[in-house]
Amino acid sequence: MRQKRTEPLPYNELDPWREVLVRGLRLQAAGAQREVEETKLTAMGLTQQAKVGSAGADLLSANLDAVHELLITSGLGKLCDGSFRSGDDPLVKSVAAAFQSTDAARIFSNANWLQVQLKGKGDKPIRTIGTVVRCLGGVSDSRREGPRGAQLKRYRWILPGEW
């Protein structure tokens, strides 16, 4: 049986591609837009390097810059600040909608190095966000708040590394 991870992975256990993605998302959460652009250039450089030295099938997996752009434009970095949010929070809805688009499905399916199998289509968009965060090495968590009979479920997502 697979054990659920309760702590995000440390940076030193991430592969270089995931490290670039997580660094960009953390910088986005901190509001450092110029540094986010630097990680975008790094992602583009790594993608070009992978395309030059690869053959056939590896070209499909060499789309780090497309994955980076999708994660940054969706606002995932702002969402993964460790605070609990309800499922109807506008930021949660916008990130889930960005991940459930056909372009996002195509980008994630071409990124076979990331191994994202999207879940939560339609009525459970929270599962989609949790799947992406866990594939990056982070954790997703939920808890119930409020009086019995009127409980609200709140969610949080934490990226790898230290805050």
Residue 15 lies in a domain: yes
Residue 43 lies in a domain: yes
Burial class of 40 by CB neighbour count within 10 A (0 to 12, 13 to 18, 19+): middle
Residue 6 lies in a domain: no
Q: How long, in residues, is the chain?
A: 163
Residue 24 lies in a domain: yes
* Tally of structural domains, the chain: 1
What is the model's pTM?
Answer: 0.82
Residue 20 lies in a domain: yes
Average pLDDT along the chain: 81
Q: How confident is the model at residue 34 (pLDDT cuts 50, 70, 90)?
A: confident
For residue 150, is pLDDT > 80?
yes
For residue 47, is pLDDT > 80?
no
Residue 97 lies in a domain: yes
For residue 2, is pLDDT > 60?
no
Residue 148 lies in a domain: yes
For residue 3, is pLDDT > 50?
yes
pLDDT at 54: 56
Residue pair 143/66 in contact by the 8 Å Cβ criterion = no
Residue 3 lies in a domain: no
- Amino acid making up residue 134: R
C-alpha dist (Å) from residue 46 to 68, 123, 155: 11, 36, 33
Q: How confident is the model at residue 70 (pLDDT cuts 50, 70, 90)?
A: very high
Range of the domain at 87: 11-158
What would the two tokens of residue 120 be? 């939560």
**Three-state DSSP state, 155:** strand
Q: What is the pLDDT of residues 79-110, one digit of tens each?
A: 988 889 988 899 999 998 898 888 888 888 88
Angle formed at CA 115 by CA 162 and CA 67, multiple of 5 degrees: 70
d(CA 137, CA 92): 19
For residue 9, is pLDDT > 70?
yes
- Amino acid making up residue 122: G
